[in-house]
Amino acid sequence: MRDKWEPWEYELGDLAEKGDVDAVSSALASGRNARSRALATALCRSANHGHLPVVELLLASGARPNLLRQGDPTMTALVAAVHARAIGVIEALLRAGADPNQPDPHGHTALAIATSSGDLDVIEALLRGGAAANLEASKGERPTRIAQIRQSEATAGLLAAKTEDEKLALAEKYAAVGALLKKGDQIGATTAAKRAKAALAALGRPAYALKLAKGEAADPSATQIGGEPLLPPGAPWPVCRVCAAPMMHLARVRLGDFEALGASGVVQLFECRHLHANARAPAELVAEHHEDGARLERRAPSPPARPIPPQHVKQVPKPKVDLPSPLLVSDPRLFDWKTLHAESRAAAHLFAIGGDKVGGWPAASEELVVPRCPDCDELLSLRLQLVAKGATGFVFGSRGRAFVLECRTHAGRIACVVQHDDW
């Protein structure tokens, strides 16, 4: 996959890591546009080495701090700067809008990482930038709790300390960290979450977590992953608009199965898995809406459009209320996140329902601009979310996600968005 980047985009990352501000500057001034992922990767690599001038240059050139870098280790620039203990870089990123509470793909926050290494200056800088001391990351690690654990580990001699004095100094350090975090924890995690839920209540949307069983659905038009698509009689098999190859059927959602969505018709998703040489985009995704599913017929794919193993929805679960995350950005009409207390804003990172689902809001792994309807300008609604390691396997890389969104008023106004750390 790596060869899909242009050589100069890789080089940009190398120059940024070296801290060569002049070379980065002339690469950016060459008139070629680096893709967002390449800029974010360069930002992350320079942050990881504490190169403030390069970080500032990249931010001024449009690098977005809430995107993940390409490849391993996937992280944001802020987390990279925390690893480097580069206070100036941390502050520059926060000033540029880096979200201090964005959990990384492993569920760790910048503050949890800083707490673990006990760096008081870094912790102070993050708290000043709005990091929440009591945000429970996906692994259940609250920074306040991490500080307690570290303090008792130090006391018990479990941390690298040769002498009694070193042991004591470590225990004192983590006690100071704990005290600092306590000061930063103003309203508490429970209150923060409650306030955020109340503020976002009007944006609640029903979402159905997909529970799937192997095999084609008995009812030929029912919701399923993979297997055979439904096509109008006589219609050609969908082909990729980039490479003209037959596409693969990824999923079908019969909207009426999910009553709370108040929608009808069938949405189908196809993907081209060819690696388009030099394409500056992830593999093509196409979604289409058929209002009258009964008029469609199942079609077995002919090679090379291999089917992915079919899985069907055995029973539609009860819908849950899904709320948007602060990573759904750049639209003041969605929600003005600044109106929330920093701790409540942090808590809202944990609301979006992950995994494969129908309805709700995109559970983004990094900042995401929700597309709009070209007819009415409303934000599109999530119809389907598929995640790497979900029912479709690794089709979106190892940590990617795909979102199919459609206008609630204008059926057929559909957009597909892929978050894939290769692009």
The encoded tokens of residue 355 equal: 């995994």
The encoded tokens of residue 242 equal: 């980039």
The encoded tokens of residue 17 equal: 């890591």
Minimum CB distance to Zn ion, residue 57 (Å) = 36
Minimum CB distance to Zn ion, residue 410 (Å) = 4
Minimum CB distance to Zn ion, residue 244 (Å) = 7
Residue 304 within binding range of Zn ion, rule CB under 5 A = no
**Pairing state of beta strands 357-359 and 205-209?**
antiparallel
Owner of token pair 């389907």: 384
Stretch that binds Zn ion, among 24-32, 40-48, 300-308, 376-384 (CB under 5 A): 376-384
Residue 274 within binding range of Zn ion, rule CB under 5 A = yes
Residue 275 within binding range of Zn ion, rule CB under 5 A = no
At 277 the three-state DSSP class reads coil
The residue among 118 and 238 lying less far from Zn ion, judged by its C-beta, is 238
Q: How far apart are CA 361 and CA 342, in angstroms?
A: 21
Site for Zn ion in 398-417 (CB under 5 A): 407, 409-410
Stretch that binds Zn ion, among 265-273, 315-323, 362-370, 387-395 (CB under 5 A): 265-273
Express the helix, strand and coil content of the chain in percent, nearest 5 each: 35, 15, 50
The residue among 84 and 245 lying less far from Zn ion, judged by its C-beta, is 245
Residue 272 within binding range of Zn ion, rule CB under 5 A = yes
The residue among 183 and 241 lying less far from Zn ion, judged by its C-beta, is 241
Convert 116-142 to b/e letters by CB count within 10 Å (16 or more is b). Answer: bebbeebbebbbebbbbbbbbbeeebb
Binding mask 322-361 for Zn ion (x = CB under 5 A): ----------------------------------------
Stretch that binds Zn ion, among 155-163, 320-328, 373-381, 386-394 (CB under 5 A): 373-381
CA-based nearest residue to 355, from 346, 347, 345, 365:
365
The residue among 79 and 247 lying less far from Zn ion, judged by its C-beta, is 247
Site for Zn ion in 224-253 (CB under 5 A): 240, 242-243
Q: How far apart are CA 305 and CA 65, in angstroms?
A: 38
Minimum CB distance to Zn ion, residue 386 (Å) = 18
- Asked whether 320 and 206 are in contact (CB, 8 A), the reply is yes
Q: How far apart are CA 419 and CA 109, in angstroms?
A: 20
The residue among 121 and 375 lying less far from Zn ion, judged by its C-beta, is 375
The residue among 169 and 376 lying less far from Zn ion, judged by its C-beta, is 376
Among 376, 389, 393, 394, binds Zn ion (CB under 5 A): 376
List, edge to edge, every strand of the sheet that includes 224-225.
Answer: 212-214, 311-313, 224-225, 248-254, 266-271, 285-290
Residue 160 exposure: Cα atoms within 13 Å on the Cβ side = 1
Distances (CA, A) of 357 to 76, 208, 354, 384, 422: 26, 5, 8, 6, 23
Q: How far apart are CA 118 and CA 171, in angstroms?
A: 10
Minimum CB distance to Zn ion, residue 384 (Å) = 18
Minimum CB distance to Zn ion, residue 292 (Å) = 20
Q: How far apart are CA 123 and CA 129, in angstroms?
A: 10
Residue 285 within binding range of Zn ion, rule CB under 5 A = no
The residue among 62 and 374 lying less far from Zn ion, judged by its C-beta, is 374
Binding mask 116-155 for Zn ion (x = CB under 5 A): ----------------------------------------
Residue 373 within binding range of Zn ion, rule CB under 5 A = yes
Minimum CB distance to Zn ion, residue 269 (Å) = 15
Binding positions for Zn ion, rule: CB under 5 A:
240, 242-243, 272, 274, 373, 375-376, 407, 409-410
